A and B are shown apart, each in its own frame.
Chain A
Amino acid sequence: MPSTQKPMRYGHTEGHTDVCFDDIGSCIVTCGSDGDVRIWENLDDDDPKSINVGEKAYSFALKNGRLVTAVSNNTVQIHTFPEGAPDGILTRFTTNANHVVFNRDGTKIAAGSSDFMVKVVEVTDSSQQKTFRGHDAPVLSLSFDPQDVFLTSASCDGSVRVWKISDQTCVTSWPLLQKCNDVINAKSICRLAWQPKSGKLLAVPVEKVVKLYRRETWDNQFDLSDNFITQTLSIVIWSPCGQYVAAGSVNGCIAVWNVDTQECMERMKHEKSYTICGLAWHPKGGQIAYTDTEGNLGLLENVCNKDGKKSSGKVSSAVAKDYNDLFDEDDDFLNMDLIEPRSSPKVISNEEEDDDDLMLASSYPRHRGAIIEDDENSLDTALMKVNSNLEKDDDNDQDGSIPILPVSTTQRPFYDGPVPTPQQKPFQSGSTPSHLTHRFMVWNSIGIIRCYNDEQDNAIDVEFHDTSIHHATHLPNSLNHTMADLSSEAILLACESTEELASKLHCIHFSSWDSNKEWTVDMPKDEDIEAVCLGQGWAACATSAMLTRVFTIGGVQKEIFSFPGPVVSMAGHGEQLLVIYHRGTGFDGDQCLGVQLIELGKKKRQVLHGDPLPLTRKSYLMWVGFSAEGTPCYVDSKGIVKMLNRGLGNTWIPVCDTREYCKGKSDHYWVIGIHENPQQLRCIPCKGARFPPTLPRPAVAILSFKLPYCQITTEKGQMEEQFWRSVLFHNHLDYLSKNGYEYDENAKNEAAKEQQELLMKLFALSCKLEREFRCVELADFMTQNAVNLAIKYASRSRKLILAQRLSEMAVEKATEMAAPEEDDDEEEEEDFRNHLNAGYSSSTTEWSQPRVRNLHEQDMEDSKEADAVEEVEEMPEMQKFRQNPFCKTVGLPEMSTPKSAVITSSSQGRVNPFKVSANQKDPTTHSANILDNMSKFSKNTPTPNSRAVNKQKSPVIKPLIPKPKSKQALAATFFQPRPPHAGDKTEEKEEKAETILPEIQAAATENKRPKTGFQMWLEENRESILADNPGLEEADIIKEGMSRFRVLSSDERMVWTEKAKGGASSNSAEAKKRKRPADAKNEGKEKREEKSKEDSSLPKKRKPLDPSINVRLSAFAFKQS
């Protein structure tokens, strides 16, 4: 397994740094020229513990809880570790010491100074000093022989000397280095090292090689070199097992050799090629920490995990053991009383009390250790015995009592499979870690709750962004509350249980109108609150018993429900409650989280049923909450903000990568709120940290959202991103309207307009690029109006095929919109249809086909003459589309028959299904049920059928069609002729309809429907007809009347039509008042009148189509700049 290089992070200010691990390897310790010693839990630890040891720290050594530092005031001093309390001065020099080292057992230190001296001092008794004189220049580095016999030193005078500690004599000296006058001028700091345990070999970095000298004989045993090393090596370390040597160079190369084979095992390059000035091998192997002269800290993981080659048997058993360990935990869980749901994290936290809350991926070794311990507890496992030998080795090795052994394989269990990630601890969104003395308990869109926990004061400060909600408050924190949430109604606080006191939920309901504004609830024994949240009118807490308890804001206990894993966080907004919990154990740094979204309003329902939460790989949850508009969002530790996309089946979509906005590697944005309208991500920039300090008061920054679409640099990509972002960020409007909340209608219209404009631009762009298929795809996203505009654009830019396709699609779309309504009808009329359908078996398509063809031709013609006619009406193409078939097909008897039949039947389907029988003598007649079947069919069949259906339904049946629901107005109007422009065609069509539907006509007249021109004419002329042909039936009268009416000149007919219009519009007001069922038939007619009104209510795009259309089309024209 190759080693992995973790990205470097900022550790100290520029200058010389030093690094090592503590004795058990649980943390990395660094020192730097800023005079601080920092204790890092791991590489991602953003809150390292700092111990200030002086103005500048040159070197330090760490052993047995003692921290020895060489600082700029020329002293070598001790601090306790990890507390960092000063523990005296060990020795002084006349200038600063350059290097300090412990001997093997930590009883002595050696320090080499720029005043040419080397001193060895007893740690417990600083009076016991030995001074080594002999160097002629500042001493660079020192190394203790593990057997405490020798001490080596390297100096600026170019020599490397070996001293005998007992009599302070120089045993040998090699002139290996370049001479220089001061440490800062030295090419290499020449950190040399003895082989651990045996001390058989001494490794010295010289130029580009590591020279190895044999003990006692002091001859150069061999050199380790590699072509990878291009610059001087300055630092050498041994692995704790003594098998490997790692060396760092001044240009940032790190190489690792196997000493036995002298083969170079790892080669690593510093990402910025800074000089490596500190290297440290993890005490259990596997990791190398390194620092550079710019103060950065880095970590190599899985270094030299290749032992498997040598002892595969052992490795495999180790692997097996590790797997067993994993399952042993389960065994524990089941067999023993130790019911600890989170055994592994707990073990860890017991092990290291001062652990940060964020257990991170890089702490694998620790975690492995934890599992082993766990294993030891469960000795009932048979497999344990098999591994007990290994285990013993392990223990012994950790104690360090067997110094010489083939250590490498037994030192740690080698298991290359996925490693379980420690589960992240519960947290409150918008809070900073609870171990800080001054921290934010919550920062959200309402306000800020700060907690002070120092010597003088233990208090909570609540501050509201909007002082009109409530004034700022200061609360004593005697119960040691650690969790808080804030809403515009209440402050919610919670504390964990102590030995005497139960875990408490404390609510300050400041918006209450009575005088009792506070209430407290004690949790049952052994149940700790782990997360709290507030919604509108309710509060909730999640407890360690994996229960969510919901309270009203006044303190009434409401629902309780279990969720399936330890809680991570929860959030509330309005009626929605979002709970995030551990679904299971994640591996390789991933968390395995689940999410439940529950609506606690009137209709209680679960929206997200414990779905997995898609975190970025190797990240953990940082923030979870709702946007101000109520859409669930979360942020993970990689800075990715994700939002629930309700428009796509409640999936999560990344909306922003805050890391993109960060300047430095260690900078982060601490999210405090998300707003969808306007699109704002509110967060606090934190330099070199994940969260902000309370003082100075951090300032809020606003980031914009960006969906991770491809090719965002191109115009197409940009517009696509904008479009989908607009769609996404207006999803909440649909949600709000669906759930009966108030919302801003304007915002919706604005959004729709923006989206349609973007689509038009994209359309224009695709047109320009001759991507016609893409144009059609785009038009598919458009609304009817935009499609019309698109058709216009296409025909204008001479893309006739495109225009035709688009108009087909427009028709299809309208059908689709009409479809939902049919569904309703179907439900009502199902019985009749089943009934009637029985008699028919003919395919719906055969008779609709010819008409379709006809329409196609029509369409072609239309687009040709489009330019000429277009100003006449709002939608010329569509208009003709629906009308022309009739006038054209008038001359084709064989066509008209079936059509008229269809028309009849369909209208009858609406009016009175039983009347169909009247027409059934016509062999080609199809009744309503077939039509309805077809419309069902049309939903999944493409163009021809659905169009045919559409044609039969909307345009022709219009006078009798039931009024579509208002949302459908758009679709319907698409096919309506506009009264002022209706002209002859409309009339003709009406005539036609009327001739075909005499009895319906009659029914309609009874219903006092507004009259058509013909009817009015007929009323006037009925007498004369009767006079001419006495004894005519009513139907015949109409027939006769029809033929006479047709004889009239078009002008005359026009007059009648106009008359009818006038009458109708006066009727319409009255008509509107009637209940729908009653006037269902009338409304078809009425609708025509209403249409002009609807027009105005439509998005404004529709209205000014005449002259301004050109202007607007040209606005969309894509400029190819």
Chain B
Amino acid sequence: MDPAEAEFLAEKELVTVIPNFSLDRIYLIGGDLGPFNPGLPVEVPLWLAVNLKQRQKCRLIPPEWMDAEKLEEIRDQERKEDTFTPMPSPYYMELTKLLLNYASDSIPKADEIRTLVKDTWDTRIAKLRLSADSFVRQQEAHAKLDNLTLMEINTTGTFLTQALDHMYKLRTNLQPAESAQSQDF
């Protein structure tokens, strides 16, 4: 799965927007949305929120966790713990990216939030690399990784599994390789 797909899945997350238009309930395959009353907060999926925002049809209310103080706490916690800490949203990275890209004017301290989320992300990815490293090094058969988000899994998942595959091949081919070598001779 590539990041675009993960982002696509994240777009189903609900966010709160304040529309500046009036529209009755709309009926979609994924469920009913609305009714939209101007000035009244309504929960819509991220894809719609971004779309409305791009058309200047709404104001976004950032998710509760998208707050500099809370994120700072999360980042510090993440740095302190050796294991992964639970994230405020399973799509925190995607949400942050999309919301900050398209609605940075509705989010107070947008830059700070961007940095904090990036910091958290970096910490987590570093942890992931580190654990992958020790996993390979110690030749463990299995490992348990809690609290990883889809996006995080995808950054390393394909690579790691392929790498393990290759390594497995290399290891199992150790003997045949010799024989092959001997064949060459």
Interface residues of A (CB under 8 A from B): 445, 447, 464-468, 682, 696-697, 699-700, 702
Once the chains are docked, how many angstroms separate the CA of A682 from the CA of B39?
10
Would you call B61 and A699 a contact (CB within 8 A)? yes
9 nearest A-B pairs in the assembled complex, by CB-CB distance = A465-B39, A465-B38, A466-B38, A467-B20, A696-B108, A466-B22, A699-B61, A700-B41, A466-B20
Once the chains are docked, how many angstroms separate the CA of A468 from the CA of B22?
9
- Known A-B contacts A699-B61, A700-B18; the reply to A466 vs B39 at CB < 8 A is yes
Would you call A464 and B38 a contact (CB within 8 A)? yes
- B168 at the binding interface (Cβ < 8 Å): no
Residue of A at shortest CB range from B37?
A465
Residues of B close to A467: CB separation below 8 A: 20-21, 38, 56-57
* Shortest Cβ distance from residue A851 to the other chain B in the assembled complex, whole angstroms: 56
Would you call B41 and A699 a contact (CB within 8 A)? yes
Would you call B108 and A700 a contact (CB within 8 A)? no
- Known A-B contacts A467-B20, A468-B21; the reply to A682 vs B38 at CB < 8 A is no
* Shortest Cβ distance from residue B175 to the other chain A in the assembled complex, whole angstroms: 67
Would you call B20 and A700 a contact (CB within 8 A)? no
Write the B29-71 contact mask toward A (1 if CB under 8 angstroms, else 0).
Answer: 0000000011111000000000000001101010000000000
Would you call A682 and B61 a contact (CB within 8 A)? no
Would you call B40 and A464 a contact (CB within 8 A)? no
Residue of A at shortest CB range from B58?
A467
Can you report 22 A-B residue pairs in the complex whose CB atoms are below 8 A from each other?
A445-B39, A447-B39, A464-B20, A465-B18, A465-B37, A465-B38, A465-B39, A465-B40, A466-B22, A466-B38, A466-B39, A467-B21, A467-B38, A467-B56, A468-B21, A696-B108, A697-B59, A699-B18, A699-B41, A700-B18, A700-B39, A700-B40
Residue of B at shortest CB range from A467?
B20
Residue of B at shortest CB range from A680?
B40
Residues of A close to B22: CB separation below 8 A: 466, 468
Our pick among B20, B56, B61, B108 for the contact of A465 (Cβ within 8 Å) is B20
Residue of A at shortest CB range from B56?
A467
* Shortest Cβ distance from residue B41 to the other chain A in the assembled complex, whole angstroms: 6
Residues of B close to A466: CB separation below 8 A: 20-22, 38-39
> How many positions in chain B have a CB within 8 Å of any CB in the partner chain?
14
Residues of B close to A464: CB separation below 8 A: 20, 38
Once the chains are docked, how many angstroms separate the CA of A702 from the CA of B40?
9
Residue of B at shortest CB range from A675?
B37
Would you call B20 and A682 a contact (CB within 8 A)? no
Would you call A682 and B40 a contact (CB within 8 A)? yes
* Shortest Cβ distance from residue A850 to the other chain B in the assembled complex, whole angstroms: 60
Residue of A at shortest CB range from B109?
A696
* Shortest Cβ distance from residue A365 to the other chain B in the assembled complex, whole angstroms: 42
Once the chains are docked, how many angstroms separate the CA of A880 from the CA of B156?
82
Once the chains are docked, how many angstroms separate the CA of A700 from the CA of B37?
12
Once the chains are docked, how many angstroms separate the CA of A464 from the CA of B38?
8
Residues of A close to B37: CB separation below 8 A: 465
Once the chains are docked, how many angstroms separate the CA of A682 from the CA of B41?
10
Residues of B close to A468: CB separation below 8 A: 21-22
Once the chains are docked, how many angstroms separate the CA of A224 from the CA of B18?
63
* Shortest Cβ distance from residue B59 to the other chain A in the assembled complex, whole angstroms: 8
Once the chains are docked, how many angstroms separate the CA of A468 from the CA of B40?
15
Residues of B close to A696: CB separation below 8 A: 108
* Shortest Cβ distance from residue A109 to the other chain B in the assembled complex, whole angstroms: 39
Once the chains are docked, how many angstroms separate the CA of A466 from the CA of B21?
5
Residues of A close to B59: CB separation below 8 A: 697
Main DSSP-derived SS at the A contact region: loop
Residues of A close to B21: CB separation below 8 A: 466-468
Write the B139-176 contact mask toward A (1 if CB under 8 angstroms, else 0).
Answer: 00000000000000000000000000000000000000
Residue of B at shortest CB range from A472?
B20
Residues of B close to A447: CB separation below 8 A: 39
Once the chains are docked, how many angstroms separate the CA of A447 from the CA of B59?
14
Residues of A close to B41: CB separation below 8 A: 699-700
Add 10 more A-B contacts to A465-B18, A467-B56 (CB < 8 A). A445-B39, A465-B37, A465-B38, A466-B20, A466-B38, A467-B20, A467-B21, A696-B108, A700-B40, A700-B41
Residues of A close to B39: CB separation below 8 A: 445, 447, 465-466, 700
Once the chains are docked, how many angstroms separate the CA of A970 from the CA of B131?
78
Residue of A at shortest CB range from B106?
A697
Cβ < 8 Å to A, chain B residues 88-144: 108
Write the B6-28 contact mask toward A (1 if CB under 8 angstroms, else 0).
Answer: 00000000000010111000000
Once the chains are docked, how many angstroms separate the CA of A465 from the CA of B58?
9
Once the chains are docked, how many angstroms separate the CA of A697 from the CA of B39?
12
* Shortest Cβ distance from residue B42 to the other chain A in the assembled complex, whole angstroms: 10
Residue of A at shortest CB range from B108?
A696
Residue of B at shortest CB range from A445?
B39
Residues of A close to B40: CB separation below 8 A: 465, 682, 700, 702
Residues of B close to A682: CB separation below 8 A: 40
Once the chains are docked, how many angstroms separate the CA of A468 from the CA of B36?
13
Once the chains are docked, how many angstroms separate the CA of A620 from the CA of B57?
38
Residues of B close to A465: CB separation below 8 A: 18, 20, 37-40
Residues of B close to A445: CB separation below 8 A: 39
Once the chains are docked, how many angstroms separate the CA of A800 from the CA of B21?
57
Residue of B at shortest CB range from A672?
B39
Once the chains are docked, how many angstroms separate the CA of A467 from the CA of B41?
15
Residues of A close to B18: CB separation below 8 A: 465, 699-700
* Shortest Cβ distance from residue B113 to the other chain A in the assembled complex, whole angstroms: 14
* Shortest Cβ distance from residue A463 to the other chain B in the assembled complex, whole angstroms: 9
Residues of B close to A700: CB separation below 8 A: 18, 39-41
Residues of B close to A699: CB separation below 8 A: 18, 41, 61
Once the chains are docked, how many angstroms separate the CA of A754 from the CA of B16?
30
Once the chains are docked, how many angstroms separate the CA of A467 from the CA of B56?
10
Residues of A close to B20: CB separation below 8 A: 464-467
Once the chains are docked, how many angstroms separate the CA of A1061 from the CA of B37?
53
Residues of A close to B61: CB separation below 8 A: 699
Once the chains are docked, how many angstroms separate the CA of A1059 from the CA of B70?
83
* Shortest Cβ distance from residue B57 to the other chain A in the assembled complex, whole angstroms: 8
Residue of B at shortest CB range from A448?
B39
* Shortest Cβ distance from residue B14 to the other chain A in the assembled complex, whole angstroms: 16
* Shortest Cβ distance from residue B147 to the other chain A in the assembled complex, whole angstroms: 29
Once the chains are docked, how many angstroms separate the CA of A700 from the CA of B59?
12
* Shortest Cβ distance from residue A696 to the other chain B in the assembled complex, whole angstroms: 6
Residue of B at shortest CB range from A696?
B108
Once the chains are docked, how many angstroms separate the CA of A344 from the CA of B61?
46
Once the chains are docked, how many angstroms separate the CA of A700 from the CA of B61?
11
* Shortest Cβ distance from residue B22 to the other chain A in the assembled complex, whole angstroms: 6
Residue of A at shortest CB range from B40?
A700
Once the chains are docked, how many angstroms separate the CA of A442 from the CA of B7?
40
Residue of B at shortest CB range from A678?
B35
* Shortest Cβ distance from residue B104 to the other chain A in the assembled complex, whole angstroms: 14
Residues of A close to B56: CB separation below 8 A: 467
Once the chains are docked, how many angstroms separate the CA of A682 from the CA of B38?
12
Residue of A at shortest CB range from B20?
A467
Once the chains are docked, how many angstroms separate the CA of A466 from the CA of B58?
10
* Shortest Cβ distance from residue B71 to the other chain A in the assembled complex, whole angstroms: 16
- B40, B56, B59, B108: most-surrounded residue (chain A CB, <10 A): B40
* Shortest Cβ distance from residue A671 to the other chain B in the assembled complex, whole angstroms: 14
Once the chains are docked, how many angstroms separate the CA of A755 from the CA of B61?
37
* Shortest Cβ distance from residue A487 to the other chain B in the assembled complex, whole angstroms: 14
* Shortest Cβ distance from residue A178 to the other chain B in the assembled complex, whole angstroms: 40
Once the chains are docked, how many angstroms separate the CA of A697 from the CA of B105?
12
Once the chains are docked, how many angstroms separate the CA of A696 from the CA of B107?
10
Once the chains are docked, how many angstroms separate the CA of A697 from the CA of B22?
21
- B18, B39, B40, B61: most-surrounded residue (chain A CB, <10 A): B39
Once the chains are docked, how many angstroms separate the CA of A465 from the CA of B59?
10
Once the chains are docked, how many angstroms separate the CA of A466 from the CA of B39?
7
Residues of B close to A702: CB separation below 8 A: 40
Once the chains are docked, how many angstroms separate the CA of A752 from the CA of B52?
37
* Shortest Cβ distance from residue A438 to the other chain B in the assembled complex, whole angstroms: 16
Once the chains are docked, how many angstroms separate the CA of A313 from the CA of B39?
63
* Shortest Cβ distance from residue A912 to the other chain B in the assembled complex, whole angstroms: 56
Once the chains are docked, how many angstroms separate the CA of A697 from the CA of B62?
12
* Shortest Cβ distance from residue A449 to the other chain B in the assembled complex, whole angstroms: 13
* Shortest Cβ distance from residue A708 to the other chain B in the assembled complex, whole angstroms: 26
* Shortest Cβ distance from residue B105 to the other chain A in the assembled complex, whole angstroms: 11
